[in-house]
Structure 1
Amino acid sequence: MRITDDISIEDWELTEQFIRASGPGGQNVNKVSTAVELRFEAERSPNLPGPVKTRLRRLAGRRWTKDGALVLQVDETRSQARNRDIARDRLAELIRQALVKPKRRIATKPTLGSKKRRLKAKKERGEVKALRGKVDPAP
C-alpha cells in the first residue's frame, strides 16, 4: 500500500479481520460480517521513521494498542469491500498527518507599548474597583 513516494506499507504489516457490524441492515447484519477491523503493526514497521511513529501514536489515541499496533474499525457501509477501502484510506490519511512536522514556536518578547497598555488597563480597572467601597449610612 503506497502512502507517499518514499513510504509504503508492506502486506505483512496489515491484518484484516471481518466482524459483524451493529446498527441498521435487517437480517443482513445478523448473517454477514461486513465490518472490518484493520490492524497495522506500526511499532515494528521498518518503513516509518521514529518521529513519525511518535506522532502517529499521539494522533491514534485510544486506537493504539500496548504492543504498538494501530487498530481501525469501520462499519459505515453494508459492503465489506467498501468498509475495507475506507479503513485503508483512513490509515493512509493518519500516516500522512503524522508525516507533517509541527512548526517550532519562536518565543517573542512583548513590546514596550503593549506592556504600557496592559499596566494602564490594570490601573484603570483597579481604580474602578476602588470606588466600590461600602457606603456610610446617612444620619
Structure 2
Amino acid sequence: MLTISRTLALPESELVERFLRADGPGGQHVNRTESAVELRFDVARSPTLPEPLRERLLARRDRRLSDDGVLVIQARRFRDQGRNREDARERLVEVIRAAQVVPKKRVATKPTRASKERRLAGKQQRGKLKQLRTKKPGLE
C-alpha cells in the first residue's frame, strides 16, 4: 500500500514498475545494472481514486501524463535501485497530494475607478512618447 493521505492509499497492484539502465556516473557497473526506475500509474482507470481527484489529475498540464491517462515517473537520481524506487514513489505521492487541493473559484470583480484612471493615464503617456518620436514636417 502506498499511503497518500489519511483517507487515500493506493494498492501495489495499481503501480507498475519497470527497471532500466541509468546513465550517469558509476563506471562499468552502470552498464550491467538496471538501477533506474520507471513507475507507471493509470490515473484514468484507477478504481481507488475519487472522481473529482481523477479529473483534477487528468486536467493538469503535466508532460509525465500520457494521452491515455497514464502517469509515468522516471527516477534515476541515485545509483542504486532501492533509492530510485523510493524517489519515484515519493514523487507520485507529491503529484497526487498536489491534485487533492481544490483550487478556489475566482470571483469576478469590476476594476476600481482609480485603476481605470491609472490605465488611461498610462496609455496617454505612452501615446505622447510615441508622438515625440515622429518626424515633424519642415524640420529636415
| In 2, Cα distance between equivalents of 1:134 and 1:2 | 73
In 2, the alpha carbon distance for the partners of 1:54 and 1:112 equals: 39
Measured against aligned partners, the alpha-carbon deviations of 1:19-49 in whole angstroms (never above 9, x if no partner) come to 1111221111111111111111221212212
Say if 1:84 and 1:129 are closer, same or farther in 2 by CA, change over 3 A. Answer: closer
Q: Give the Cα separation in 2 of the matches to 1:86 and 1:60.
A: 22
* C-alpha distance in structure 1 between counterparts of 2:74 and 2:139, whole Å: 72
| Structure-2 separation of matches of 1:69 and 1:76 | 22
Query: Is the CA contact (8 Å cut-off) linking 2:19 and 2:35 kept in structure 1?
Result: yes
Evaluate the alpha carbon distance shift between residue 26 and residue 127 of structure 1 in structure 2; reply closer, same or farther with a 3 A threshold: closer
Letter in 2 for 1:136: G
Match runs of 1:31-70 below 5 Å? 31-59=32-60, 61-70=62-71
Figure out how many residues of one structure are paired with residues of the other and give that number: 138
Matching of residue 134 in structure 1 with residue 105 in structure 2: no
CA contact (8 A) 1:59 1:94 kept: no
Identity %: 49
What secondary structure, in the 3-state scheme, does the structure 2 residue paired with 1:104 have? coil
Which is richer in strand?
A: 2
Map 1:1-139 → 2, pairs under 5 A: 1-59=2-60, 61-130=62-131, 132-137=134-139
Q: Aligned partners of 1:120, 1:71: CA distance in 2, in Å? A: 51
- Structure 1 gaps of 5+ residues are none
| Structure 1 residue ranges (4+ consecutive) displaced by more than 6 angstroms after TM superposition | none
Q: Secondary structure at the match of 1:36?
A: strand
Greater Rg by CA: 1
How far residue 85 of structure 1 moved from its aligned partner, in angstroms, is 0.3
More displaced stretch, 109-118 vs 91-100: 109-118
Q: Which runs of 5+ in 2 are unaligned?
A: none
Distance change (3 Å), C-alpha of 1:121 and 1:18:
closer
Distance 1:85 1:135 in 2: 74
Report which stretch shifted further, 40-49 or 53-62.
Answer: 53-62
